[in-house]
A and B are shown apart, each in its own frame.
Chain A
Amino acid sequence: MSSQLIKNNFRMDRLPHIWCPGCGHGIIMRSMAQAIQNLGLDKQKVCIVSGIGCSSRAPGYMDFNTLHTTHGRALAFATGVKLANPELKVIVVTGDGDCSAIGGNHLIHTARRNIDITTIVFNNNIYGMTGGQYSPTTPTNDFGTTAPFGNIDKAFDICKLVDGAGATYVARGTAYHVNQLTKIIEKAISNIGFSLVDAISICPTYYGRKNKKGTAVQMMNYLKDSAVDTKVAEKLPPEKLENKFFIGEFKNTTEPEYTEEYMKIIKKYQKER
């Protein structure tokens, strides 16, 4: 039996989705739908844009204006959509490889412009669609099919990256902490400017198996045990923060928004009709 949430926000004839059993992406996708519904957005004015990869299949299942683009370029396509029609609420669904490797340039520049686009990164620390290669968020020393002797790259902290680049709302959630994730996505969408939610997912099929992380349930337990809310973290001694990662809101500010600034130019210079 499908819930009302699913019936109202998904293309029922497109389900079930293609994701593997135990994958965290479905939870994040549902959380997005919940956030959109909680905000009472007009479905016809929501445009969900994605790139390529496991995460990027999400828009196909969601009953909105949806655009599945090329690898890494979702934010650039989304920028075109948003600037052409600023009435649309534009949400980008992307993965860790899609947005921080091949699309890294678009990520920092979209953040820099502070254009009103909400980006949800389905971050599973691996290239899943192509079969488990290491990504820019694969931790050092972990394994991937292209890191058979351990990964010697350092991992990106995507939140710090876009914070530095000029995003005005930055937060992290996980597929385990669903209620918090939904709240964060709501706030990200409500922010007028560039928002990014680093949504930590799990990939039991590739990342989990390669790195002996156990079953999907064990990986979920890892999220539960290792995530520390950033507000709580401030009060904890350093030894309690070893091997932990932070979730919650990192940045929530207001800066001039790109399309609003552009509309000011039009208003000032557009010739009388």
Chain B
Amino acid sequence: MVNQKEIRLSGSGGQGLILGGIILAEAAILDGNNAIQSQSYGPEARGGASKAEVIISNEAIDYPKVDKADLLLALTEVAYKKYIKTLKEDGILIVDSSVNIEDKNPSYKVMQIPILDTAFEKMGKGMVANIVALGVIREVTNVVSAESLEKAVLNRVPRGTEELNKKALMEGYLLASNRD
């Protein structure tokens, strides 16, 4: 049975979403699955809405681009407005609490979560917002194992920030589970 999940991470340039995508894909590979990560390049990648895409599957992945996503992460209003059209009707939208949701009665599931607030205010390090978001995504979708995700995070973050990032992951897990 093919089990393929297509995820789009969006926000603004500098929020570390591409690194987030790489970590998520690497975690999937550590789990023994296949994964593809791609991103936007050039002017689009510098400011404005930025995105990274990840496809995770237990089978070979043919078409490497995400068309309609199973899950959309939107950390900014600009990104939400730009990419909400690309979310599947029965998909999941994980959106930062700061974003104003226009659609009052959507077919997709909406989860408003204070990701940026947690990173900036609670942890005092805005740069870990991407890792907090990965924690949320893992907890909501179970698309990668917690063990592999932590390993992938530690593989890719700068030396000396390991503990901070592990804590960011935990905050993400808590944010997601507190909602249920």
In their complex, do chains A and B touch, with some C-beta pair under 8 Å? no
Interface residues of B (CB under 8 A from A): none
